[in-house]
Amino acid sequence: ECKDIDNAMHLFSSITKKSNYMYTVMFKGLVTNNVPEKVLDLFDEMKIEPNQFTLSTLFNACAKLCDDRAMKIGKELLAKMPENYRNNNITSTSAIDMLMKFGDVESAERIFRSIKTKNIITYGAMVKGYAGNETFEKALDLFEKIDIELDRVTYTIVFNACAKLCNDRAMKIGKELLAKMPENYRINNITSTSAIDMLMKFGDVESAERMFRSIKTKNIITYGAMVKGN
């Protein structure tokens, strides 16, 4: 695999006129192969201004790397980002995710507020970021403001936040959310496992068992949540 990455890097460096599309594809490949530092190496040599798609991938690389160099580059890129890119949900969400990983909750909130039309992925990134920074109350505050349909990922994130918080408010929100969860989401092991884990943390073993029984295809993580809970 290392050899493949080196070959790809070598081939990429031999291309004289590189486009943003080429950079984005290359950056994505490097992030996927868990070598985000190579993304920043390539970025240092980049002769063209990154477009919004390239920026998103750069933010992802910085978020993954999360060291001093990544923080410096990520924040500089964000400061220089054209205003109209902020309306692109993918780019803004990547920026929010990066800032949350950096522990810079305030800047993430600022970006979030500046987005005119927020989608569920943007909300999800914020809620997940709050949870990642252990500000679970803020995660639930924002969750309660979401006025669009939730996706599977958001259910999972909120269940995790409720499990961590585990107070009366979290129990109320978590159980209400679970009651409203679409049937087809129960098939998803990740979402169901989060729900089981949450119920176990609440001490509601009976509901967790009911949930467990309703999962058609159980995996080792689902079994693990039940065993751990018990």
6-25 per-position pLDDT tens digit? 898 899 999 999 999 999 99
Predicted structure pTM score: 0.90
Helix (H) or strand (E) run with residue 100 in it: helix 89-102
109 in the same domain as 11: yes
Which range among 29-33, 71-75, 82-86 shows the weakest confidence by mean pLDDT? 82-86
- Tell me whether residue 126 is in a domain: no
Average pLDDT over residues 54-79: 98
Check residue 151 and give its pLDDT.
95
Local confidence band at 135 (pLDDT 50, 70, 90 cut-offs): very high
Check residue 1 and give its pLDDT.
57
Residue that wins the pLDDT comparison between 169 and 217: 169
Structural domain count, the chain: 2
Check residue 216 and give its pLDDT.
84
113 in the same domain as 14: yes
CB-count exposure of residue 34 (10 Å: 0-12, 13-18, 19+): exposed
Instruction: Name the residue type at position 139.
Output: A
The pLDDT of residue 109 is above 80? yes
188 φ/ψ angles, rounded to the nearest 5 degrees? -75, 120
Instruction: Name the residue type at position 102.
Output: F
Parent domain of 85:
1-117
Average pLDDT over residues 118-137: 96
113 in the same domain as 1: yes
181 in the same domain as 95: no
- Tell me whether residue 123 is in a domain: no
Average pLDDT over residues 21-38: 96
- Tell me whether residue 132 is in a domain: no
Please report which residue ranges of 15-167 form alpha helices under DSSP H: 20-32, 36-44, 52-65, 68-80, 89-102, 105-114, 120-132, 136-143, 152-165
- Tell me whether residue 57 is in a domain: yes
Buried b / exposed e over 83-110, threshold 16 CB at 10 Å, is eebbebbbbbbbbbbbbbbbebbebbbe
196 Cβ neighbours under 8 A, 6+ residues apart: 208, 211, 212, 222, 225, 226, 229
Would you give the DSSP letter of residue 187?
Answer: G
**Pair of tokens at residue 81:** 């980002």
3 in the same domain as 59: yes
109 in the same domain as 27: yes
Report d(CA 46, CA 40) in Å as an integer: 10
CB neighbourhood size of 113 (10 A): 8
91 in the same domain as 16: yes
91 in the same domain as 152: no
157 in the same domain as 193: yes
Average pLDDT over residues 65-93: 95
Check residue 103 and give its pLDDT.
98
90 in the same domain as 18: yes
Check residue 219 and give its pLDDT.
87
- Tally of CA atoms within 13 A in the half-sphere of 111 that contains its CB: 32
Local confidence band at 208 (pLDDT 50, 70, 90 cut-offs): very high
Check residue 120 and give its pLDDT.
96
Report d(CA 162, CA 27) in Å as an integer: 35
Check residue 87 and give its pLDDT.
84
Check residue 225 and give its pLDDT.
86
- Tell me whether residue 24 is in a domain: yes
Average pLDDT over residues 183-207: 93
